[in-house]
Amino acid sequence: MHTISRLLLLLALSGSISLSAALATDSTSAQAQLDKAAPLILDATSDKKKYIDASLCFADALGFYETSNDQDVVSHLQATLYWCRQQIDNEALASFQAERALEPETLESWNRVNAVVERPISTDQAQAYVARAEKFSQANPLRMQLTAYLYFEISQRFQGLPEALLAEKRFKDAVSRHQKNIAKAIISGREPLIIPAAAAHPVAPIVKVPQPSTEALKGALDSIHELYKSQYTQPKNRTALIPTLIKQANDTDIDALSRYALLHEARELSVSAKDIVNIIQLCEQIGEFYADIDVIADKRTYLRKISGQTVIPSLLTLLDMPNDPSANAIVGRWYAITVEEWSIALPHLANGSDASLGVIAKAELAPKTLASEHLAVADQWYDLGKRTAVQKEPLWRHALSIYETVRPQLSSLQAALTDKRIAEIVSYLPLGPDINYDKLSATQWEKLKGTTIIIDSARGHIDTGIVLRDGQQMRLVPHPTETWRITNGKDITIDTTYKGQSMKNKYSIGELVCVVGNGMEQQPGLISGVGNLTLFPSTPKGRGISATGSIRVKLLPVTK
């Protein structure tokens, strides 16, 4: 098997083995070390000590490939080794040192692990590292786990440089895309990331198709306008049509012309609605599918169509000068305070000229191993929100999300102090008419007054016993952090909230779906129709697929 293919294969396997690391001296023994590491990667999520065993194997295999001058394999092994070493917590390390670190063979292997992780690398190598990661990512769109390792190493080795901030964002994107690849594998009944033994070359990149002709596009757009004629009569209805068009465009069975027309029309409607976020994402999505698209030029063209939005000049500046401090500060603040998309906001803030926001953003992006480090970041957002009344709500909401995430890992004293902060924030955040149900914290959800229903994923369709009358509406609010687990029976699992894992089909896998009577499927939020209300998680049928776990939802009455 091709060596990189073998490395990719091991990243998807799981199991348990006894391990005895030994320095690889030829290709056969090097591949044997990779085979030993194969069952350890996914299991290490629940047993950190297995990251140590995997690291020892990787380091011993690396010794051979360094002498054979196979630089591509060396780079991938180093990145994977770096990832494993950073995941080893103090408890696992202490156990390893007490039980095995003094064994001569093991000690030699462990020294090689540390030599790889701790080796000094000049900052002028940052661009070369990024270029190598981008090249691999573009050539291997289904190999997102290894792509994530490459970007993770860059984000940690070159901290403080623009390349590190870029790598941090692309690391998160790669992790997200890897989860989507797993979800696709579950739907298709195949194993993700596994390359057949006969494969000797990387997977070919996605082939982009030509853009449709002007005449063909006009005909497809006319069909869309005719199909949704009633919704084009009012601006509000046209805005509500945008997510419908985007979902249809992401259907796996749709033809290239229809997909282009739907994305194009969604972008035009987003311009009318001054929906900047959708415009940016749609420009990128069209560029992903179709050839000869200048995504930056398209963003520039469509953003310039929007007037009265103060963030537009800075967004345009970043298209040409992505490291501009002032523009990064403005765009980062907009994503954080207005849009509340913190994963996008943080790299901009860290690279921006706003000192108060930038310092905290860098602290949040920095690698952490202790719960107290996350707690310190939440405290900084809390303190900043307390000093800035205008930005208090989004800053405190972000602080709350960190507090609630880290709360189970805190000491009793830290937990008591954190509980006071959580109570203070929750009492401040609105639960009245202005509440944003898409941004609820777990604590806020618990305070909602309504009927609670438990959606057990293993039961399939659940009749809530609630009947809606003609003209009646209810608001369905799922718990924001509870999850259920979906598996295909082959050790491939996805843990997801009610939002599901985004897929290119009608609904995300694991997404909560609502049906009233014999009506159309609806998503959580305001629901209407006539008949019994039924709820269920959207999962493909058959193929050994099963779901476990439950998510609570609350049904709130709506008065007009």
Q: What is the pLDDT of residue 19?
A: 36
Average pLDDT over residues 255-280: 93
Residues 60 and 176 in one domain: yes
Residue 358 maps to a domain: no
User: Between these two residues, 248 and 402, which has the higher pLDDT value?
Assistant: 402
Q: Which helix (H) or strand (E) holds 511?
A: strand 511-516
Give the pLDDT band (50/70/90) at residue 219.
very high
Helices (H), 371-455: 371-387, 392-406, 412-428, 442-447
Give 486's strand partners: 494, 547
Average pLDDT over residues 364-388: 89
Residues 136 and 211 in one domain: no
Domain end point (choices 291, 309, 327):
309
Average pLDDT over residues 196-206: 33
Average pLDDT over residues 81-100: 77
User: Between these two residues, 455 and 29, which has the higher pLDDT value?
Assistant: 455
Average pLDDT over residues 218-237: 86
Give the pLDDT band (50/70/90) at residue 216.
very high
Q: Answer whether residue 381 shows pLDDT above 90.
A: yes
User: Between these two residues, 513 and 29, which has the higher pLDDT value?
Assistant: 513
Residues 178 and 251 in one domain: no
Q: Answer whether residue 475 shows pLDDT above 70.
A: yes
User: Between these two residues, 205 and 472, which has the higher pLDDT value?
Assistant: 472
Q: Which of 214-228, 322-336, 381-395, 530-544 has the lowest mean pLDDT?
A: 530-544
Q: Which residue has the tokens 């051979």?
A: 64
CATH (domain of 522): 2.60.120.430
Q: Which of 22-26, 177-181, 212-216, 480-484 has the lowest mean pLDDT?
A: 22-26
pLDDT in tens, 136-179: 776 666 677 778 888 888 888 888 777 777 788 788 777 776 66
For the chain, the domain total comes to: 3
Q: What is the pLDDT of residue 179?
A: 65
Question: What span, in angstroms and rounded, lies between the C-alpha atoms of 298 and 294?
Answer: 6
User: Between these two residues, 221 and 128, which has the higher pLDDT value?
Assistant: 221
Q: Which of 156-160, 289-293, 533-537 has the lowest mean pLDDT?
A: 156-160
Residue 169 maps to a domain: yes
Residue 465 maps to a domain: yes
Give the pLDDT band (50/70/90) at residue 182.
low
Q: Answer whether residue 99 shows pLDDT above 90.
A: no
Q: What is the pLDDT of residue 376?
A: 94
Q: Which of 98-102, 356-360, 395-399 has the lowest mean pLDDT?
A: 98-102
Within 10 angstroms of residue 502's Cβ, the number of other Cβ atoms is 18
- The tokens for 106 are 């093991």
Residue 342 maps to a domain: no
Q: Answer whether residue 66 shows pLDDT above 50.
A: yes
DSSP 324-368: -HHHHHHHHHIIIIII--HHHHHHHHHTSS-HHHHHHHHHHHS--
End-to-end Cα separation, the chain, in angstroms: 65
Residues 30 and 179 in one domain: yes
- Max CA distance (Å), the chain: 78
Residues 168 and 59 in one domain: yes
Residues 82 and 217 in one domain: no
Domain end point (choices 253, 274, 309):
309
Q: Which of 1-5, 159-163, 434-438, 512-516 has the lowest mean pLDDT?
A: 1-5
Residue 131 maps to a domain: yes
Are 293 and 287 spatial neighbours (Cβ–Cβ below 8 Å)?
Answer: yes
Percent of residues, the chain, with pLDDT higher than 70:
81
Residues 181 and 214 in one domain: no
Q: What is the pLDDT of residue 488?
A: 67
Q: Answer whether residue 8 shows pLDDT above 50.
A: no
Q: Which helix (H) or strand (E) holds 384?
A: helix 371-387
Residues 249 and 106 in one domain: no
Give the pLDDT band (50/70/90) at residue 46.
low
Q: Answer whether residue 2 shows pLDDT above 50.
A: no
Q: Which of 86-90, 238-242, 371-375, 395-399 has the lowest mean pLDDT?
A: 86-90
Residues 268 and 175 in one domain: no
Give the pLDDT band (50/70/90) at residue 279.
very high
Residues 121 and 221 in one domain: no
Question: Phi-psi region for residue 523, left (φ > 0), alpha (ψ -120 to 50) or beta?
Answer: beta
Residue 486 maps to a domain: yes
Nearest to 539 by CA among 482, 501, 483, 491: 501
Domain end point (choices 188, 217, 244):
188
Question: What span, in angstroms and rounded, lies between the C-alpha atoms of 104 and 314?
Answer: 58
- The tokens for 74 are 């060396």
Residues 247 and 139 in one domain: no
Q: What is the pLDDT of residue 26?
A: 67
Q: Answer whether residue 186 shows pLDDT above 60.
A: no
Residue 141 maps to a domain: yes
Domain interval for residue 250: 207-309
Residues 29 and 154 in one domain: yes
Give the pLDDT band (50/70/90) at residue 16.
very low
Q: Which residue has the tokens 């345009």?
A: 316
Residue 314 maps to a domain: no
Q: What is the pLDDT of residue 541?
A: 56
User: Chain centroid to CA 521: how far?
Assistant: 25
Q: Answer whether residue 496 shows pLDDT above 60.
A: yes
Mean per-residue pLDDT over the chain, rounded? 79
